[in-house]
Amino acid sequence: MAEEKRPRHILSLSGGKDSAALAIYLRDRVPEMEYIFSDTRKELPETYEYLDRISSYLGKEVVHLNADVGFDHWYEMYGGMIPSNHRRWCTRALKLKPFEQYCGNEEVINYVGLRAEENRSGYISHKPNIKAVYPFREDGLVLRDIEEILHTSGVGMPPYTKWGRTRSGCYFCFYQQKIEWVRLKETYPELYDKAKEYERPYEKTGNFFTWSQGESLAELEQPERMEQIRREHVIRIQRNAARRENVKLIEIFAEADRTEELEEDDDQGCLVCQL
C-alpha cells in the first residue's frame, strides 16, 4: 500500500517583521518548512540584507521566486502602466502567481504572519490544495510579542526601519506614506529618481499615472513640499500621542477602531507584500 504523501509546509518571507518573526517562531516546530521570497528585483538593499540574516538564523536557504523575470518585465507587458491600489497587477503577477506555481498541485500548508490583534483577512488561495494557517492568531501573539521574538533571536527589526520606513516591498510601493517618499529621497536619491522615471503618460490613453496619490514625484520632491510633508508628519505624531494619552484617561470600547487609529505601523497596504 502506497504511503500517503504528506503536505508541504511553506512560509513566504516578505522582508517584513511579521513573516520574519513567524519563521523564527516556527523554526524548531516545523523543521520541514520551506522558505520562499517573491523577488520583484525592486527591493531595498536592506531587504536583501535582512533576508540573508534570517536565512542564517534558520540554517536554510530562502528560495527566491521570479528568478527569470521581475517588475520591469510585467511593467512592459502591461504597456507601461504603473500599478496602484486599483491596478494591483504587481501583486498578482509578482507575488500570488509565482507562489501558486511554486506550490503546484501538491497539498500545501501556507503559514501567514497575521497577529492576534489585527482585524483583517489573510491571503486566501483559490487553489483548493493550499490551506492558510495563522499561528500568531491561534497562539494569541501581538505586536510586542513579535518584537520580542526578533530581539531575543538576534535577528532584530528590518534594517530599513532605522531610517523611518515602515514597510517591506518595492522601494516605489504605491502604498507608502508621503513621509516615506521623503525619506527615500533623503536616503536613496538614486532610487527615488528611478521611481520617478516610471511616471510617464500611459501610451494607450495618455493618462499620467503617479506612484503617490494626488501628485507626481517631481512635485513631491520640491523643497517646500518636502518640508510641508515633514511638518504634517510631526503634527500627526503629536496628535496620535495625545490620543494615546486620552486612551489612558477614558475607556474606549471599540478596540478594533483603537488599533487602527493609534498604531502607526505597516498594516495598511498589500498584505502579501508586507507581512
DSSP-H helix ranges across the chain = 17-26, 45-58, 71-77, 89-91, 97-103, 135-139, 143-153, 178-187, 189-197, 217-220, 223-249, 255-262, 271-274
Whether residue 249 has pLDDT greater than 60: no
For residue 181, the number of C-alpha atoms closer than 13 Å in the C-beta half-sphere is 29
Share of the chain above pLDDT 70, in %: 87
Residue 43 pLDDT grade (very low, low, confident, very high; cuts 50, 70, 90): very high
Residue predicted with more confidence, 262 or 59 = 59
Q: What's the mean pLDDT when you consider all of the chain?
A: 88
| pLDDT digit string, tens, across residues 51-81 | 999 999 999 999 999 867 899 999 999 888 8
- What one-character DSSP code corresponds to residue 132? E
What global pTM score does this model have? 0.85
| pLDDT digit string, tens, across residues 192-238 | 999 999 998 877 777 888 999 889 999 999 999 999 999 999 999 99
d(Cα 116, Cα 143) in Å, to the nearest integer?
Answer: 8
Q: What angle is formed at CA 129 by the lines to CA 123 and CA 134, rounded to 5 degrees?
A: 40
The H or E element containing residue 12 is strand 8-12
Query: What is residue 170's predicted lDDT score, i.e. its pLDDT?
Result: 95
| pLDDT digit string, tens, across residues 142-156 | 999 999 999 999 999
3-class secondary-structure state, position 84: strand
Residue 155: alpha-carbon gap to chain centroid: 18
Residue 119 pLDDT grade (very low, low, confident, very high; cuts 50, 70, 90): confident
Nearest alpha-carbon partner for 148 in 140, 157, 139: 157
| pLDDT digit string, tens, across residues 154-166 | 999 999 999 999 8
